[in-house]
Amino acid sequence: VLIALVYLGKYLEAKSKHRTSDAIAKLIQLTPETSTLIVGYTHKVIPSDEIEPADIILIRPGERIPIDGLVVHGSSTIDESMLTGESLPVDKKLDDKVYGGTLNQSGVLHIKAQETGEHTVLARIIKMVGQAQGSKPPIASLADRISLYFVPTVMTIAMLTGLSWYFIGGVEFSMALRFFIAVLVIACPCAMGLATPTSIMVGTGRGAQLGVLVKNAEALQTAEKTSVVVFDKTGTLTRGEPKVHAFINYHHSLSDEEILGLAASLEQSSEHPLAEAIVKYSKKRNCALRESTSFSLLEGAGIEGTVDRRSVLIGNERLLERQKIILPKSLGNLDSSDEFGKTSLYVVIDSELAGSVSISDTLKENAPENVRRLKDLGLKVVMLTGDHPDTARAIARQAGIDHVIARVLPEEKQNRIIELQKEGMVAMVGDGINDAPALAQADVGIAMGSGTEIAMESGDIVLMSGNIEGVPTALSLSRAVMKNIRQNLFWAFGYNVVGIPIAAGLLYIFGGPTLSPMLAGAAMALSSVSVVTNALRLRLFNG
């Protein structure tokens, strides 16, 4: 009976532990086993793992996409909730990017494969979740150290218990043996060993379902202690889709179209979001764009180059200061745009101020709500940006952020994080290449999944949806997981602290009952199952 109870407990424990890895199993099942390859005018069904880059794959309504690629024919809506946590479907048309594991809902699509197999976003997510589930937070070292000495300690206690009852307590040998076996059976190092990894497995799996990818367990423990959250502005708090609001011509002879054409010709070589806005605006106004014969980045100030044998510079006030160009007082109204959250860029042609461009970027709709959620968690929220102070303060007011650090050069962001770390643990949220050093310096780096590859590699936590709703969700998840781990450890330690003395006959000394080995086995099995069951509650976490 004793052996049967122990094996029953092990079976229940194994079944419960299997449920902790459901998240990875569900992710793996998202990739279809077969796919339809388009070869000329014919269709051929092949195993999905045989798809190669540049293959054209047919995706019908209701089918899952097997690879990452581009839409080359058709349009549809795609359910990306399994990757990003976003419940609303996403419209896809020609040249749009689609991802493996997502569900085609309406139209027929032809997709050109780009990343296949282990190189897809889904495969990388599965790998990342697996690595996180296999990692250990610092708190696990306590349980590991105790478990190391647990077995020899229990063996010693069991031996002393049996010998004491036989030689000192004067009981029969069978009774002493009963106490000895009860101590061995009830002692449960399994519960302590399961306390941390089960919570980590369920927590990181649930995070993946919500679009929050945690790279390692240590990040969860650190995130729980975070007291300051720092946001980059462009692309993080704002949509990252700036548009030209206004253009002012200061040149004595060049027309608007000529100035914009020269500026856009130079900006074509830049990858900055503001550059794209100027190029789009210039094309909209039918400006002639030419090739720039030289291009260089002026760190923290702007860009310079040569277009059509003219020297062209575009940048902020730092650029004017470096070029020793004084902004006339009559142009003072330009800066007022900064007070309304618009960014002012100046165009200098042949060392002469030629014009200014006012660019605005829209705040993400749910930014104020999620900043409030962070404040409700007792966190200090800071905006860190290289933008003009007035622009930064205007955006911060809209978002509900009280602390603003503006006009910070990319290389200075890391130093500002170091200063903030004097106040406590810092989480940095960013999406650009210039955010990578700050993400790495912060105690917890949170990268937006819509950002650059470098930013995502630098982050400890990746938000797949690119939505800042994931920031309070990630920090709340860390608190929930760490609370769950502490509950498990408390139960595991408490069970052994109370159970072993009872099994050793503590109650019997005062005229109470003894604990039979059979009941001890049942209690041992229950302790392990209860720890795993408690961890499984994290599957209900919703942020």
Which residues have C-beta within 8 Å of that of residue 272, sequence separation ≥ 6? none
CB 141 within 8 A of CB 135: no
CB 348 within 8 A of CB 222: no
The closest of 110, 265, 118, 224 to 461, measured between CA atoms, is: 224
217-224 and 189-209 helices, crossing angle to 10°:
80
470-503 and 173-186 helices, crossing angle to 10°:
170
The closest of 537, 535, 543, 362 to 13, measured between CA atoms, is: 535
∠ Cα 313 241 437 (to 5°): 75
* Residues 321, 327, 331, 335, Cα dihedral to 10°: 20
Which of 55, 68, 232, 361 does the annotation list as catalytic?
Answer: 232
CB 362 within 8 A of CB 395: no
DSSP 3-state of 343? strand
CB 107 within 8 A of CB 74: yes
Enter the DSSP assignment of 166: I
Enter the DSSP assignment of 487: H
* Residues 222, 228, 232, 233, Cα dihedral to 10°: 140
Could you tell me the maximum CA-CA distance found in the chain, to the nearest angstrom?
A: 113
Q: Is 68 a catalytic residue?
A: no
Rounded to an integer, what is the distance from CA 277 to the centroid of its chain?
A: 28
* Residues 405, 406, 410, 411, Cα dihedral to 10°: -60
The closest of 542, 543, 538, 541 to 488, measured between CA atoms, is: 538
Burial of 378 by CB count in 10 Å (0-12 exposed, 13-18 middle, 19+ buried)? exposed
Total length of the chain: 543
CA distance 14 to 418: 45
Cβ atoms within 10 Å, residue 107: 17
The closest of 403, 366, 364 to 381, measured between CA atoms, is: 403
Could you tell me the CA-to-CA distances from 81 to 170, 212, 226, 399, 400 in Å, in that order? 68, 12, 28, 26, 28
| Interstrand relation of 403-405 and 380-384 (parallel, antiparallel or unpaired) | parallel
Q: Cα-flanking dihedrals φ and ψ of residue 96, to 5°?
A: -80, 150
Enter the DSSP assignment of 201: H
**Quick one: how many helices (H) and strands (E) in the chain?**
19, 22
Enzyme catalytic residues: 232
